[in-house]
Amino acid sequence: ETGVTQTPRHLVMGMTNKKSLKCEQHLGHNAMYWYKQSAKKPLELMFVYNFKEQTENNSVPSRFSPECPNSSHLFLHLHTLQPEDSALYLCASSQDEGGTYNEQFFGPGTRLTVL
Amino acid sequence: AQKVTQAQTEISVVEKEDVTLDCVYETRDTTYYLFWYKQPPSGELVFLIRRNSFDEQNEISGRYSWNFQKSTSSFNFTITASQVVDSAVYFCALRPGSARQLTFGSGTQLTVLP
């Protein structure tokens, strides 16, 4: 595997389900991100992790719960979602060094549909 | 606050035509970075270019070229001799020099017709 991978690529879930999205980066980067891309809206940053520590949480509802067990893996745990949470969820990674934040590389995304 | 505006929602061109995608940004930071990403139908955002605010030199990479003009806060992207494979959504993005957060524009859907 190369670059940034995400599984599953497609997910359909009911509002009472619990599911998790997985992201893995094979680039040796130290920062990872979750973005949400809804129809007709700009990409929204949800969470940022640097060296496994969460550094940003952009007012995301608690029904989204991130987890970063190491600098290569990032999860997004989902529970009691709403239909308006249906979107493409994109993971990204970057190599940040000494205050220099480099370009982010994105995975293919998980297309989530909440019924 | 950061803002990126891509006024062109959709553009259609015929193969081999040149096309320019516009990007206008707003920021109070003196140091910042500008990016272009391509999102084909598969969904993955593909990084195309990064420019920093101190480097206004235009750049050319094959059929792609970028025109950065600080005076008009614009960072436009031109594809020369477009091809069907260029069909995608193109996003312009801005990041302050001191932070990781990328602010994306709403994207331009480019369709290149054979």
B59 pLDDT exceeds 90? no
> Would you say A21 and A113 are in contact if contact means Cβ atoms under 8 Å apart?
no
Lowest mean pLDDT among A99-103, A107-111, B30-34, B51-55: A99-103
Q: Determine whether the interchain pair B98/A99 forms a contact, defined as Cβ–Cβ distance below 8 Å.
A: yes
Nearest residue, CB atoms, B104 vs list A43, A55, A102: A43
CA atoms within 13 A on the CB side of A19: 17
What span, in angstroms and rounded, lies between the C-alpha atoms of B58 and A66? 39
What integer pLDDT is reported at residue A100 of this predicted model?
67
Contacts of B40 in chain A (CB under 8 A): none
Could you tell me the end-to-end alpha-carbon distance of chain A, in angstroms, rounded to an integer?
Answer: 32
Helices (H) and strands (E) in chain B, counts: 0, 12
Contacts of B1 in chain A (CB under 8 A): none
Q: Determine whether the interchain pair B99/A101 forms a contact, defined as Cβ–Cβ distance below 8 Å.
A: yes
What integer pLDDT is reported at residue B88 of this predicted model?
97
B20 pLDDT exceeds 80? yes
A42 pLDDT exceeds 70? yes
> Would you say A85 and A66 are in contact if contact means Cβ atoms under 8 Å apart?
no
- What are A44-83's pLDDT values in tens digits? 999 998 876 777 777 899 999 999 999 899 999 999 999 9
Nearest CA in chain B to A5: B44
Q: Which of A45-54, A83-92, B54-63 has the highest mean pLDDT?
A: A83-92
> Would you say B103 and B93 are in contact if contact means Cβ atoms under 8 Å apart?
yes
- What are A70-81's pLDDT values in tens digits? 989 999 999 999
Span B42-49, average pLDDT: 90
What integer pLDDT is reported at residue B101 of this predicted model?
81
What integer pLDDT is reported at residue B3 of this predicted model?
93
What token pair was written down for A81? 């979602």
pLDDT above 70 covers a percentage of chain B that reads 100
Is the Cβ of A98 closer than 8 Å to some Cβ of chain B? Answer: no
Distance from CA of A82 to the nearest CA of B (A): 22
What integer pLDDT is reported at residue A37 of this predicted model?
94
- Bond prior to A8 in cis (omega within 30° of 0): yes
Contacts of A106 in chain B (CB under 8 A): 37, 44-47
Those residues with Cβ within 8 angstroms of residue A55's Cβ, 6 or more apart along the chain or in another chain: A48, A49, B100
Distance from CA of A42 to the nearest CA of B (A): 4
What span, in angstroms and rounded, lies between the C-alpha atoms of A62 and A52? 19
Check residue B63 and report its DSSP letter: T
A29 pLDDT exceeds 80? yes
A97 pLDDT exceeds 80? no
Nearest CA in chain A to B92: A42
Q: What is the DSSP string of A47-99?
A: EEEETTEEEEE-S--TTEEEEEEETTEEEEEEES--GGG-EEEEEEEE-EETT
Q: Determine whether the interchain pair B100/A111 forms a contact, defined as Cβ–Cβ distance below 8 Å.
A: no
Amino acid identity of A40? K
A98 pLDDT exceeds 80? no
Amino acid identity of A25? Q
> Long-range CB contacts (< 8 A, 24+ apart) of B76-79?
B76/B20, B76/B21, B76/B22, B76/B23, B77/B20, B77/B21, B77/B23, B77/B36, B77/B48, B78/B18, B78/B19, B78/B20, B78/B21, B79/B18, B79/B19, B79/B20, B79/B21, B79/B110
Q: Determine whether the interchain pair B98/A109 forms a contact, defined as Cβ–Cβ distance below 8 Å.
A: no
What is the per-residue burial (b if ≥16 Cβ within 10 Å, else e) of B53-80? beeeeeeeeeebbbbbeeeebbbbbbbe
What token pair was written down for B28? 């109070």
